[in-house]
A = this chain, B = another copy of it.
């Protein structure tokens, strides 16, 4: 009998349910439901551009609809699929996206008392309200000589759990005090699916714990109480209500609750895997293995690798966590805070034009032909510089500069940022033998992918799946369902890379090498680095590059 696995992928704007054949990973049914709250599923505050939340009620209403749609799709395709052949469910979500829960594991946001209170909602990954708290956490860790920053690149991020919890404590103490515990979205979803009502029974995934909450066995799990109390005594008080143990995603979080199963049209009792971060399971869905860097390129980009036990801590790279991607390996996570979001910002907020127009115009330029150079920090820097309080930059504009040229320079800026991460990882001795790209940008923007190949001087290979995060989740479902003995075996069977790839264009390499040097100067001049580059010649060098590019 055929075996199927269900992957549930909780993104920024929607939930996606994907049914795959455990034999070869082929996709038999998909359902996507957009979250109904806020602006495309995100709750915003007009007075604070840093705020981004999600309404947890959206998860509860949208997920059964997405699963039903996937089942309908699979049945409509006449693949022989039947709902009782689903052997396991895997989950991935955005992170760090923590939410406060009550003593029955219900989100506070669902209660009468806190409905509509922004602090009681899920604090979405891209919420940057806690930048001061993040700075304070980094400073305290350094001042007290704690090792906690070693696994997260050397600085704590405003996107992460403790910064957000501390921010809630300081700005919404009523919500903070009302919470019995906090859970990452990746851990809340499996608990909800399995009908878990005791906070102690929520099985926490190592992925968000290790990458976002400074959990590491070498220092006894979460940061110690004394350290937390140094930030705020009330913060230390929640430590015992969190967790001492974490789990990898080849482990079972529980089994599907009967009432939810019936909403979904699935049998009750299906094993549900421990949750993980979307990008990490995206790495799994794109076939991550030692030597292969997977870039999940969407509104932001996550870079995922795995390494053996000898993998060192890498300064400026956001996470090195055992088992966070594939059990038995060190998970390495890096990333860029704005990629598709950056292009979207310029297209809609600045130029008022469509991506495809700007891309078509930009594609006709030679490398360096615009004379422009940009920094890709409109949403802060998540890696190498690791600082949320930096911003975007354009330089090189003349009175003839066009919107398409500026747009293209943003594509290039993210490619330079990508190269910086690749170089940093390689500096620490981790070998990158190939790069596989996936996600919306990889699928939709050939110009971007060609620029990445040219700037990084490596082929950009395309993942065989257009929904690698959900596929990665389904792979975990297949493992907990017993279809494969372990994650590497499931990856081997269920993922593939396309024959199509973007190959570096020799004509572009020299110009991009020169531009990358200038990018590095801007990066080091404006970012938190030791260097103070001399920028007096930068504008002239950009003009020289432009003139040479246009002369052909």
A residues contacting B by CB (< 8 A) are: 47, 49, 338, 341-342, 345, 349-353, 371, 377-379, 389-403, 406, 525-529, 532, 534-536, 538-540, 542-543, 550
Contact = CB atoms under 8 A, between A and B. Distances in A.
B401 A350 contact: yes
A393 B371 CA distance: 12
A345 B392 contact: no
A534 B377 CA distance: 19
6 contacts: A49-B399, A350-B350, A352-B352, A391-B542, A391-B543, A532-B536
B349 A350 contact: no
B534 A403 contact: no
A182 to B, nearest CB: 26
A143 to B, nearest CB: 20
A401 B529 contact: no
How many copies of this chain does one complex carry? 2
B389 A540 contact: yes
A399 B352 contact: no
Contacts of A398: 49, 378-379, 391-392
Given A532-B536, A535-B526, A397 B391 contact: yes
Contacts of A525: 525, 535-536
Q: Among the interface residues A353, A527, A529, A540, which one has the most CB atoms of the partner chain B within 10 A?
A: A540
A400 B377 CA distance: 12
Contact of A399 (B338, B400, B528, B538): B338
Contacts of A542: 391
B406 A350 contact: yes
A349 B394 contact: no
Contacts of A526: 395, 535-536, 538-539
A217 to B, nearest CB: 35
A44 to B, nearest CB: 10
A325 B413 CA distance: 48
Contacts of A396: 391-393
Contact of A395 (B352, B393, B399, B400): B393
B389 A397 contact: no
Given A352-B352, A392-B401, 8 more contacts: A349-B401, A389-B539, A389-B540, A390-B540, A391-B539, A393-B393, A393-B394, A526-B536
